[in-house]
Amino acid sequence: MDNIKNQREWLPVPVLHCVSLEDTLRFWTSLGFDITYKQTRPYGYAVVERGAYGLHFHQLKGMDASKNFYGGCLMMVSDAEEVYKDFAAQIKSTLGKVPHSGIPRISRMKPGTTRFTLTDVSGNSVIFISYGEQDSETWEKADDKDQSPLRKAIATAVRFRDYKNDDMAAARTLDAALKRNGAESQEDVAEALILRIELARAMGNVQQQELYTERLNALGLSHEVVDRLKLKHITLQ
Protein backbone atom coordinates (compact mmCIF):
# COMPACT_ATOMS: atom_id res chain seq x y z
CA MET A 1 0.00 0.00 0.00
CA ASP A 2 2.82 2.44 0.85
CA ASN A 3 4.35 1.88 -2.60
CA ILE A 4 1.03 2.76 -4.22
CA LYS A 5 0.77 5.95 -2.16
CA ASN A 6 4.27 6.98 -3.24
CA GLN A 7 3.55 6.57 -6.96
CA ARG A 8 3.75 9.82 -8.91
CA GLU A 9 0.43 10.44 -10.62
CA TRP A 10 -0.04 12.23 -13.93
CA LEU A 11 3.61 11.63 -14.78
CA PRO A 12 4.32 11.98 -18.52
CA VAL A 13 6.75 9.44 -19.96
CA PRO A 14 8.61 10.45 -23.14
CA VAL A 15 8.91 7.69 -25.74
CA LEU A 16 11.58 8.44 -28.35
CA HIS A 17 12.24 6.56 -31.56
CA CYS A 18 15.65 5.09 -32.26
CA VAL A 19 17.49 3.61 -35.23
CA SER A 20 19.28 0.89 -33.28
CA LEU A 21 18.26 -0.11 -29.78
CA GLU A 22 21.73 -1.45 -28.98
CA ASP A 23 23.54 1.69 -30.18
CA THR A 24 21.09 3.89 -28.31
CA LEU A 25 21.51 1.98 -25.06
CA ARG A 26 25.28 2.00 -25.44
CA PHE A 27 25.22 5.78 -25.86
CA TRP A 28 23.03 6.53 -22.85
CA THR A 29 24.68 4.05 -20.51
CA SER A 30 28.03 5.68 -21.33
CA LEU A 31 26.55 8.84 -19.79
CA GLY A 32 25.65 7.15 -16.53
CA PHE A 33 22.11 5.95 -17.27
CA ASP A 34 21.04 2.45 -16.25
CA ILE A 35 19.01 0.06 -18.38
CA THR A 36 15.89 -0.79 -16.37
CA TYR A 37 13.86 -2.51 -19.09
CA LYS A 38 14.62 -4.08 -22.45
CA GLN A 39 12.78 -6.23 -24.96
CA THR A 40 13.61 -7.23 -28.53
CA ARG A 41 10.32 -8.93 -29.46
CA PRO A 42 7.75 -8.29 -30.80
CA TYR A 43 9.54 -4.96 -31.24
CA GLY A 44 12.58 -3.29 -29.79
CA TYR A 45 11.81 -1.26 -26.67
CA ALA A 46 13.93 -0.20 -23.72
CA VAL A 47 14.09 2.18 -20.79
CA VAL A 48 17.13 3.95 -19.35
CA GLU A 49 17.01 5.79 -16.05
CA ARG A 50 19.12 8.17 -14.05
CA GLY A 51 18.01 9.91 -10.90
CA ALA A 52 14.69 8.01 -10.82
CA TYR A 53 13.61 9.45 -14.17
CA GLY A 54 13.60 7.50 -17.39
CA LEU A 55 13.75 7.80 -21.16
CA HIS A 56 11.85 5.22 -23.18
CA PHE A 57 13.03 4.16 -26.63
CA HIS A 58 11.16 2.36 -29.39
CA GLN A 59 13.18 0.98 -32.30
CA LEU A 60 11.68 2.22 -35.56
CA LYS A 61 12.40 0.31 -38.75
CA GLY A 62 13.74 2.46 -41.58
CA MET A 63 14.42 5.47 -39.38
CA ASP A 64 17.08 7.94 -40.58
CA ALA A 65 18.82 9.73 -37.70
CA SER A 66 19.88 12.61 -39.97
CA LYS A 67 16.22 13.40 -40.67
CA ASN A 68 15.04 13.24 -37.07
CA PHE A 69 14.35 16.94 -36.52
CA TYR A 70 11.46 16.60 -34.10
CA GLY A 71 12.18 13.81 -31.61
CA GLY A 72 13.11 14.95 -28.14
CA CYS A 73 12.00 16.08 -24.70
CA LEU A 74 12.95 18.29 -21.76
CA MET A 75 14.68 16.94 -18.66
CA MET A 76 14.78 19.06 -15.51
CA VAL A 77 17.87 18.78 -13.29
CA SER A 78 19.24 20.54 -10.23
CA ASP A 79 22.36 21.86 -11.97
CA ALA A 80 22.52 21.68 -15.77
CA GLU A 81 26.10 22.99 -15.82
CA GLU A 82 27.36 20.11 -13.66
CA VAL A 83 25.47 17.61 -15.83
CA TYR A 84 27.01 19.21 -18.91
CA LYS A 85 30.54 18.87 -17.54
CA ASP A 86 29.89 15.24 -16.65
CA PHE A 87 28.44 14.41 -20.07
CA ALA A 88 31.15 16.30 -21.95
CA ALA A 89 33.86 14.39 -20.08
CA GLN A 90 32.18 11.05 -20.75
CA ILE A 91 31.66 11.83 -24.44
CA LYS A 92 35.27 12.95 -24.82
CA SER A 93 36.53 9.75 -23.20
CA THR A 94 34.43 7.71 -25.64
CA LEU A 95 34.82 9.69 -28.87
CA GLY A 96 38.10 11.48 -28.20
CA LYS A 97 36.41 14.88 -28.61
CA VAL A 98 33.28 16.80 -27.64
CA PRO A 99 31.26 17.14 -30.88
CA HIS A 100 29.12 20.28 -31.29
CA SER A 101 27.87 19.27 -34.73
CA GLY A 102 26.81 16.06 -36.44
CA ILE A 103 25.28 13.07 -34.66
CA PRO A 104 25.70 12.57 -31.74
CA ARG A 105 26.45 16.07 -30.47
CA ILE A 106 26.15 18.32 -27.44
CA SER A 107 25.48 22.04 -27.65
CA ARG A 108 27.97 24.52 -26.26
CA MET A 109 27.24 25.96 -22.83
CA LYS A 110 28.41 29.11 -21.07
CA PRO A 111 29.41 29.01 -17.40
CA GLY A 112 26.49 30.03 -15.21
CA THR A 113 23.79 29.30 -17.78
CA THR A 114 20.87 26.97 -17.30
CA ARG A 115 20.43 24.66 -20.28
CA PHE A 116 22.06 22.60 -22.98
CA THR A 117 20.90 20.19 -25.67
CA LEU A 118 22.19 16.65 -26.08
CA THR A 119 21.47 14.93 -29.40
CA ASP A 120 21.86 11.16 -29.27
CA VAL A 121 22.88 8.63 -31.93
CA SER A 122 19.33 8.54 -33.32
CA GLY A 123 19.01 12.32 -33.59
CA ASN A 124 16.80 12.73 -30.51
CA SER A 125 17.40 16.08 -28.80
CA VAL A 126 17.06 16.07 -25.02
CA ILE A 127 17.22 19.54 -23.48
CA PHE A 128 18.56 19.55 -19.92
CA ILE A 129 17.34 22.56 -17.91
CA SER A 130 18.11 23.68 -14.37
CA TYR A 131 15.18 24.14 -12.01
CA GLY A 132 14.44 27.75 -11.07
CA GLU A 133 13.59 31.11 -12.59
CA GLN A 134 16.95 31.98 -14.14
CA ASP A 135 16.29 30.07 -17.36
CA SER A 136 13.14 32.03 -18.19
CA GLU A 137 14.66 35.32 -17.01
CA THR A 138 17.54 34.99 -19.48
CA TRP A 139 15.09 34.24 -22.31
CA GLU A 140 12.94 37.27 -21.43
CA LYS A 141 15.85 39.74 -21.48
CA ALA A 142 15.47 40.03 -25.26
CA ASP A 143 11.91 41.36 -24.75
CA ASP A 144 12.95 44.17 -22.40
CA LYS A 145 12.13 47.47 -24.12
CA ASP A 146 13.98 49.57 -21.54
CA GLN A 147 17.46 48.89 -22.89
CA SER A 148 19.69 50.27 -25.61
CA PRO A 149 19.52 48.81 -29.14
CA LEU A 150 22.89 47.12 -28.66
CA ARG A 151 21.93 45.59 -25.30
CA LYS A 152 18.76 44.26 -26.91
CA ALA A 153 20.81 42.82 -29.79
CA ILE A 154 23.13 41.06 -27.33
CA ALA A 155 20.16 39.57 -25.45
CA THR A 156 18.55 38.49 -28.72
CA ALA A 157 21.79 36.89 -29.91
CA VAL A 158 22.05 34.99 -26.62
CA ARG A 159 18.49 33.75 -27.13
CA PHE A 160 19.31 32.54 -30.64
CA ARG A 161 22.54 30.85 -29.57
CA ASP A 162 21.70 29.36 -26.20
CA TYR A 163 18.00 28.56 -26.61
CA LYS A 164 17.56 27.93 -30.33
CA ASN A 165 21.06 26.66 -31.20
CA ASP A 166 21.05 29.08 -34.15
CA ASP A 167 24.54 30.59 -34.35
CA MET A 168 23.89 32.09 -37.77
CA ALA A 169 20.86 34.09 -36.61
CA ALA A 170 22.80 35.25 -33.54
CA ALA A 171 25.68 36.40 -35.74
CA ARG A 172 23.37 38.29 -38.12
CA THR A 173 21.71 40.04 -35.18
CA LEU A 174 25.04 41.28 -33.85
CA ASP A 175 26.37 42.22 -37.29
CA ALA A 176 23.37 44.47 -37.89
CA ALA A 177 23.65 46.08 -34.45
CA LEU A 178 27.40 46.70 -34.72
CA LYS A 179 26.93 48.53 -38.03
CA ARG A 180 24.66 51.15 -36.48
CA ASN A 181 26.06 54.40 -35.14
CA GLY A 182 24.66 54.85 -31.67
CA ALA A 183 25.65 56.26 -28.32
CA GLU A 184 26.58 52.85 -26.94
CA SER A 185 29.10 52.42 -24.16
CA GLN A 186 32.48 50.95 -25.00
CA GLU A 187 31.84 48.05 -22.66
CA ASP A 188 28.60 47.18 -24.45
CA VAL A 189 30.37 47.34 -27.81
CA ALA A 190 33.14 45.15 -26.41
CA GLU A 191 30.62 42.62 -25.08
CA ALA A 192 28.91 42.43 -28.48
CA LEU A 193 32.27 41.94 -30.18
CA ILE A 194 33.31 39.22 -27.73
CA LEU A 195 30.08 37.33 -28.35
CA ARG A 196 30.54 37.79 -32.11
CA ILE A 197 34.12 36.47 -31.92
CA GLU A 198 32.89 33.42 -30.02
CA LEU A 199 30.24 32.79 -32.67
CA ALA A 200 32.82 33.10 -35.45
CA ARG A 201 35.04 30.61 -33.63
CA ALA A 202 32.17 28.17 -33.23
CA MET A 203 31.32 28.44 -36.93
CA GLY A 204 34.95 28.03 -37.95
CA ASN A 205 35.25 31.45 -39.59
CA VAL A 206 38.84 32.50 -38.88
CA GLN A 207 38.59 35.65 -41.00
CA GLN A 208 35.68 36.98 -38.96
CA GLN A 209 37.45 36.06 -35.72
CA GLU A 210 40.43 38.17 -36.74
CA LEU A 211 38.26 41.06 -37.98
CA TYR A 212 36.25 41.38 -34.78
CA THR A 213 39.30 40.79 -32.58
CA GLU A 214 40.96 43.79 -34.24
CA ARG A 215 37.87 45.89 -33.53
CA LEU A 216 37.87 44.73 -29.91
CA ASN A 217 41.54 45.58 -29.44
CA ALA A 218 40.99 49.01 -31.02
CA LEU A 219 38.64 49.95 -28.18
CA GLY A 220 41.61 50.11 -25.82
CA LEU A 221 39.85 48.58 -22.84
CA SER A 222 41.91 47.07 -20.03
CA HIS A 223 42.61 43.33 -19.92
CA GLU A 224 40.62 43.13 -16.69
CA VAL A 225 37.49 44.54 -18.31
CA VAL A 226 37.82 42.36 -21.40
CA ASP A 227 38.41 39.23 -19.31
CA ARG A 228 35.34 40.00 -17.19
CA LEU A 229 33.18 40.37 -20.29
CA LYS A 230 34.58 37.19 -21.80
CA LEU A 231 33.42 35.20 -18.78
CA LYS A 232 29.83 36.05 -19.76
CA HIS A 233 30.03 34.53 -23.23
CA ILE A 234 32.92 32.09 -23.65
CA THR A 235 31.49 28.57 -23.68
CA LEU A 236 32.56 25.47 -21.78
CA GLN A 237 34.54 23.03 -23.92
- Give pLDDT tens digits for 65-123: 999 988 899 999 999 999 999 999 999 999 999 999 899 999 988 888 899 999 999 99
State the pLDDT at residue 170: 95
Question: Is 50 exceeded by the pLDDT of residue 193?
Answer: yes
Least confident of 31-40, 83-92, 114-123, 226-235: 226-235
Question: Is 70 exceeded by the pLDDT of residue 237?
Answer: no
The whole-angstrom separation of Cα 14 and Cα 19 is: 16
* Burial (CB count within 10 angstroms: exposed 0-12, middle 13-18, buried 19+), residue 192: buried
Question: Is 50 exceeded by the pLDDT of residue 209?
Answer: yes
115 has which bridge partners? 129
Whole-structure pTM value: 0.80
Q: How many CB atoms lie within 10 A of CB 42?
A: 6
Mean pLDDT of 145-167: 91
The whole-angstrom separation of Cα 76 and Cα 111 is: 18
Using an 8 Å Cβ cutoff, are 25 and 13 in contact?
no
Q: Which of the four pLDDT bands, split at 50, 70 and 90, describes residue 1?
A: very low
Least confident of 7-11, 116-120, 185-189, 197-201: 7-11
Question: Is 50 exceeded by the pLDDT of residue 184?
Answer: yes
For residue 104, whether the previous peptide bond is cis, meaning omega lies within 30 degrees of 0, is yes
State the pLDDT at residue 132: 86
